[in-house]
A and B are shown apart, each in its own frame.
Chain A
Amino acid sequence: MKAPLGWLKEFVEIDIPAPELAERLTMAGLEVSEIVTERFGLEAARVARVVSKESHPSKPGLFVLKVEVDKRQLTLAANLPQFGKGSLVPIACEGFLFPDGSALTPRKMGGVPSEAKILSEADMGVSGRHDVVLPLPTEALPGDCIIDLMGISEQVLKFDLTANRGDCLSVFGIARETAAVLGKPLSKTPFDDSTPFPTDSARCQITIRDRKLCPRYTGRVLLDIRVEQSPVWMQRRLIAAGMRPINNIVDTTNYVLLETGQPLHAFDLDTIEKQKIIVRRAGKGEIIRTLDGEERKLTEDMLVIADTGRPVAVAGVMGGAETEVTENTSRLLLESAFFDPASVRRTAGALDLRSEASARFEKSVDLARVGDCSDRASRLMKELGCGRPVGPMEDVFHGKRSSKKITVSVKKINCILGTDLDENTVRDTLERLQFKVTGKRALKIEVSSHRPDVSIPEDIAEEVARIFGYNEIPMEMPMVRTHRAVTAEGFRMRSTLRGWMSGIGLDEAYCYSLSNREELERIYGGENTPDMVPISNPMAGFDTLRPSLLPGLIKAVSRNIAHGNDDVYLFETGKIFSPRHDGQPEEKDSLAFVITGRGWHFPTRQAARSQSADYSAAKGIVEDILEKLGCNAEFGRSNSIFLHPAKSAEVIVNEEKMAEFGELHPSLLQRMEIDRMVCAGEFSLEKMAPEFDKEKKFKHVSRFPSVPRNLSFIVSEEIQAGEVEKVIRKKCGGLLESIELIDVFRSEAIGKGKKSVTYSFRFRHPERTLDDEEIKQKTDEIISSVRDELGGFLREA
């Protein structure tokens, strides 16, 4: 909403500069986003200084002047001898709009460039004299805008209004607010003159068929219509407020729309069949050609203004082309009405046709002033000589005539705000806002119809607070009773995990929860793609919810490599989604990581042996987490489609898969065009949760010495290291304190399809020292088991 300052000043005295006014209105809830200076396209009228003067080479009596403005030099020709070097002269530069609408363009006059023109009084609309140079005031300086010197330019406040303040979509509405904020009375209103119009036989008839969508419709007839240009003052105000002047009729309706917030529409009365207006819903398949020349298909939920034959306007949105006012119009019907806000919003949206009118109807116009605004426009048209309003006005009014009353005590207002305002302050504030207040302590407040957004006591409290000043309200820390904590378990767990992963040395990543189906299918490799949750209104390629954290992290690795970052260690915690056949998709918490690079040097058990972010490093990360959780895990074969089948594993806790990790599958790397090894892992936090909350129990630490042993076995390739470990653990029971795979070796000597795995053991008994016999026996048992159960043989040194 643009409100020219001069127009505002018509309704309320403003004796502070515009920036201060803007600040005060902003702090009262009407945000001024900008103060612009409207120059009506006349910015190109400037004061210039003459730099040189010469006679025209070919045309006698003409002079060629070089003038300077804005550090630029312009050449012009003139037959005025009075200007010499150093004189200040008013000029029109390129783009200047003359009163006839033509624009100044540079050209050549007799071979000499003509880039500007000395301004005459007629050029600026001051008088009709083309031969008199526009006089410059003594204080004029080179570079000045003529229009500023003449006081024609207007300061305009641009408002960024909140959705609930439809009453401020008008200059008078803002003036009303300004009066309340500044504590000044309104000097006048658009409705002060209520002289009735003479009656006439020319009438129109109005029928409202849908009272809910249109509770009030008024029609006024104007005779002797004369369509011409509107006066300059009205054109300038329209331009300053952001609308284009067209002709006196349209301009007056727009002027009153901007002034009062009430949209009006003018019909050519004689194009309305039988001069009967019917406000109804559109019929099936009805069409209307709107003012912009487009054909619009209407639907049955849209409200139209119709005559006895066809729709003549889309109610509240746009008028029809067949009934618009033309230069042949002699009689006019002026419409002023209230249309249901939601209906106008839906209709304007469905037709993709938003106008200054629909914007105001959507926020609700002032039901009580519908007729008064029409009168204001009629009087203005009479003043301009473009029509003769006759009465009476047809006014079909079905809505509530009584105004809203709210009862609220001063105590309640103070309770909401935390203030200690006395009754007089509250009363004064509300009266400044044009609310009528009666009663003591329990105030009965009558809210006028221009504030449909005020309906409950809390709304009254807000009105008091914003005029009183939000910054004036005290600050006080609340006292809250201690209470049972409401904690989010998932949040706690994820925070701890994030700390652990950061501690290991990974960086936390955030990836989008929304992905692209095509891209996911490429990552998963086509038919392995799991069922995913689709977005029903996708945008910018985001059409699916992520089923796992890995695709996003893998993409992040790919991007980092492309940027030249070779060492990338990332983790993410977040939600993943899968569809449920019975309705609402499932949200699950997940933790995942990806690592790639040569610079891996974070000590995590197995990883201490790695120099790069490889399978051992990934296993090290997983083992670290498992150790911190204090849970017993087994490693099994993984069949994840992301991972390399031979270099990956599943983590099984309480017989359920809690995580999987390993090298990324080579074909996945190929699909993603990644040229190096990347390892990854993902944990299910749902499966981890029981381990997280598990109470730790102390395990006795034996004081007796341990016995270390190393054994190497030759097993076939398919046997996983984990299987061998399982067999050994089973055999040793409590005697085996620790076992670690320290080497995997392959060679010609060992044979094809076989590998050597070396384990380092520690035996320890909780209550005594073990003797060599026992150790030898156990070791033999281990060797037998591995042979019997796995077909593996002890490798001789």
Chain B
Amino acid sequence: MGFDVVEGPEIETDYFNFEALNLHKDHPARDEQDSFYITHQLLMRTQTSPVQIRTMLDRGEPPVQVIAPGRTFRRDNVDASHSPVFHQVEGLLVDRHITLAHLKAVLFHFAREMFGKKTKARFRPDFFPFTEPSVEMAITCTVCGGDGCSVCSRTGWLEILGSGVVHPQVIRNGGLDPDECTGFAFGMGVERIAMLKYGIDDIRLFYENDVRFLKQF
């Protein structure tokens, strides 16, 4: 669809990882327990969203149309659905008249390409400090096709990504003028999507590197 690939550092500053994304010092998502810190100001990035800010600052003017894949780190107990190291893909489109309707269309198209042409998408409100309105997108469950099963908690839907219209403060922090341009952003966990698509039941398999697993893909 015309998105360029950009990258950012794995060691991020507190500013780019949190502050610039509208996550202030007392925000619950800032709990020390959840991030690996190197120094007081440097941490292993917890999301690929910082690349949004870096790219906007780098580009200097709209349009900015990028995706930013990369490693992310969370200080979580390691189990079948949590890994301290995982990957995300971030997307950002900022231009003069970008709307929520555009976000829906782009994500819907992505869902169809990724999961099959019969896939349906459901959008519902959510909350992220760096988007407003914020959207959670779900797709028809890849396991039961929407009938309801244990994987989708009998709802028939699987939530796969968070997104929204970029918060004006974040646009400002990116050095752009929110009165001149608007944008949307989205982020998804790569391992999670792979696990849903292929039916893999344990995230740790991606990092154990057993050749019997690797050879399947």
Q: Which residues of A contact B (CB under 8 A)?
A: 26-29, 31, 162-165, 341-342, 345-346, 415-419, 456, 458-459, 461-462, 465-466, 470-471, 473-478, 480-481, 483, 485-488, 490-491, 507-514, 533-540, 542, 545, 553, 556, 559-560, 563, 565, 567-570, 574-575, 577, 584-585, 587
Q: Which of A480, A534, A537, A577 has the most CB of B within 10 A?
A: A480
B105–A458 CB distance below 8 A: no
A513–B85 CB distance below 8 A: yes
B165–A28 CB distance below 8 A: no
Q: Which one of A165, A542, A568, A585 lies within 8 Å of B11 (CB-CB)? A: A585
B33 CB to nearest chain A CB (Å): 8
Closest to B98 in A: A478
A700 CB to nearest chain B CB (Å): 38
Closest to A570 in B: B209
User: Would you call B201 an interface residue if the criterion is a C-beta within 8 Å of the partner chain's C-beta atoms?
Assistant: no
Chain A proximity mask over B69-82: 1 for CB below 8 Å, otherwise 0: 10101010110000
Given the interface pairs A342-B26, A577-B11, the reply to whether A481 lies near B63 with Cβ below 8 Å is: yes
A169 CB to nearest chain B CB (Å): 14
B100–A466 CB distance below 8 A: no
B106–A510 CB distance below 8 A: no
> In the complex, A417 Cα to B100 Cα: how many Å?
5
Closest to A537 in B: B37
Closest to A508 in B: B214
Q: Which one of A491, A507, A510, A536 lies within 8 Å of B207 (CB-CB)? A: A510
Q: Which residues of B contact A (CB under 8 A)?
A: 2, 4-7, 9-11, 26-29, 32, 35-39, 42, 44, 55, 58-59, 63-66, 69, 71, 73, 75, 77-78, 84-85, 93, 95, 97-102, 104-106, 108-109, 122-127, 132-135, 165, 167-168, 182, 206-212, 214-215
B101–A418 CB distance below 8 A: yes
B6–A465 CB distance below 8 A: no
**Across-interface contacts of A585 in B (CB, < 8 A):** 11, 38, 42
B10–A587 CB distance below 8 A: yes
A475–B101 CB distance below 8 A: yes
**Across-interface contacts of A536 in B (CB, < 8 A):** 37-39
A560–B84 CB distance below 8 A: no
**Across-interface contacts of B108 in A (CB, < 8 A):** 475
A220 CB to nearest chain B CB (Å): 31
A28–B38 CB distance below 8 A: no
A-side interface mostly: mixed
**Across-interface contacts of A415 in B (CB, < 8 A):** 97, 99, 182
B19 CB to nearest chain A CB (Å): 15
Q: Which one of B9, B99, B127, B206 lies within 8 Å of A587 (CB-CB)? A: B9
> In the complex, A696 Cα to B30 Cα: how many Å?
50
Q: Can you identify 28 A-B contacts, CB atoms within 8 angstroms?
A: A29-B126, A162-B127, A163-B27, A165-B127, A458-B168, A461-B132, A462-B132, A466-B133, A470-B123, A473-B101, A474-B104, A475-B108, A478-B93, A478-B99, A483-B65, A486-B66, A507-B209, A507-B211, A510-B206, A510-B209, A514-B36, A514-B73, A545-B11, A559-B209, A560-B209, A560-B210, A570-B209, A585-B38
Q: Which of A342, A488, A565 has the most CB of B within 10 A?
A: A488
**Across-interface contacts of A29 in B (CB, < 8 A):** 124-127
> In the complex, A27 Cα to B123 Cα: how many Å?
8
Given the interface pairs A345-B26, A458-B167, A480-B95, the reply to whether A535 lies near B124 with Cβ below 8 Å is: no
A562 CB to nearest chain B CB (Å): 10
A27–B36 CB distance below 8 A: no
A482 CB to nearest chain B CB (Å): 8
> In the complex, A673 Cα to B73 Cα: how many Å?
30
A456–B36 CB distance below 8 A: no
**Across-interface contacts of B93 in A (CB, < 8 A):** 478, 480
> In the complex, A536 Cα to B102 Cα: how many Å?
42
B100–A465 CB distance below 8 A: yes
Given the interface pairs A470-B124, A486-B58, the reply to whether A478 lies near B73 with Cβ below 8 Å is: no
> In the complex, A565 Cα to B209 Cα: how many Å?
11
**Across-interface contacts of B95 in A (CB, < 8 A):** 478, 480-481
**Across-interface contacts of A341 in B (CB, < 8 A):** 26
> In the complex, A540 Cα to B78 Cα: how many Å?
8
A540–B84 CB distance below 8 A: yes
B151 CB to nearest chain A CB (Å): 16
B87 CB to nearest chain A CB (Å): 8
> In the complex, A480 Cα to B134 Cα: how many Å?
22
Given the interface pairs A165-B127, A476-B101, A477-B105, the reply to whether A486 lies near B6 with Cβ below 8 Å is: yes
Q: Which one of A163, A416, A458, A475 lies within 8 Å of B28 (CB-CB)? A: A163
B71–A418 CB distance below 8 A: no
A490 CB to nearest chain B CB (Å): 6
A417–B101 CB distance below 8 A: yes
A506 CB to nearest chain B CB (Å): 10
B104–A587 CB distance below 8 A: no
Q: Which one of B38, B102, B125 lies within 8 Å of A476 (CB-CB)? A: B102
Closest to B165 in A: A416
> In the complex, A537 Cα to B66 Cα: how many Å?
33
Given the interface pairs A480-B93, A491-B5, the reply to whether A537 lies near B133 with Cβ below 8 Å is: no
**Across-interface contacts of B135 in A (CB, < 8 A):** 470
A535–B38 CB distance below 8 A: yes
> In the complex, A755 Cα to B42 Cα: how many Å?
54
Closest to A484 in B: B59
> In the complex, A545 Cα to B65 Cα: how many Å?
32
Given the interface pairs A539-B84, A540-B78, A542-B84, the reply to whether A471 lies near B101 with Cβ below 8 Å is: no
Given the interface pairs A536-B38, A540-B77, the reply to whether A507 lies near B5 with Cβ below 8 Å is: no
**Across-interface contacts of B58 in A (CB, < 8 A):** 486
B160 CB to nearest chain A CB (Å): 15
B75–A26 CB distance below 8 A: no
B2–A560 CB distance below 8 A: no
A262 CB to nearest chain B CB (Å): 21
> In the complex, A466 Cα to B133 Cα: how many Å?
9
Q: Which one of B35, B38, B71, B182 lies within 8 Å of A533 (CB-CB)? A: B38
A693 CB to nearest chain B CB (Å): 17
A278 CB to nearest chain B CB (Å): 25
A163 CB to nearest chain B CB (Å): 6
> In the complex, A473 Cα to B134 Cα: how many Å?
14
> In the complex, A545 Cα to B210 Cα: how many Å?
23
A288 CB to nearest chain B CB (Å): 23
> In the complex, A553 Cα to B207 Cα: how many Å?
10
B170 CB to nearest chain A CB (Å): 11
B191 CB to nearest chain A CB (Å): 9
A346–B26 CB distance below 8 A: yes
**Across-interface contacts of B44 in A (CB, < 8 A):** 513-514, 535, 545
B127–A491 CB distance below 8 A: no
B125–A470 CB distance below 8 A: yes
B209–A511 CB distance below 8 A: yes
> In the complex, A345 Cα to B29 Cα: how many Å?
12
Q: Which one of B2, B28, B207 lies within 8 Å of A512 (CB-CB)? A: B207
> In the complex, A497 Cα to B168 Cα: how many Å?
39
> In the complex, A235 Cα to B199 Cα: how many Å?
46
> In the complex, A416 Cα to B178 Cα: how many Å?
11
Given the interface pairs A512-B85, A514-B84, the reply to whether A559 lies near B208 with Cβ below 8 Å is: yes
Q: Which of A26, A478, A508, A545 has the most CB of B within 10 A?
A: A478
B7–A488 CB distance below 8 A: yes
A50 CB to nearest chain B CB (Å): 37
Closest to A490 in B: B7
Instruction: List 6 tightest A-B contacts by C-beta distance, closest first.
Output: A418-B101, A418-B99, A29-B125, A162-B127, A462-B133, A478-B102
**Across-interface contacts of B6 in A (CB, < 8 A):** 486-488, 491
**Across-interface contacts of A485 in B (CB, < 8 A):** 4
A460 CB to nearest chain B CB (Å): 10
Given contacts A27-B124, A533-B38, 13 further A-B contacts (CB under 8 A): A341-B26, A416-B165, A456-B168, A458-B168, A462-B134, A475-B101, A476-B104, A478-B106, A507-B209, A507-B215, A512-B84, A539-B75, A559-B208
B2–A480 CB distance below 8 A: yes
**Across-interface contacts of A461 in B (CB, < 8 A):** 132-133, 165
B178 CB to nearest chain A CB (Å): 9
B63–A480 CB distance below 8 A: yes
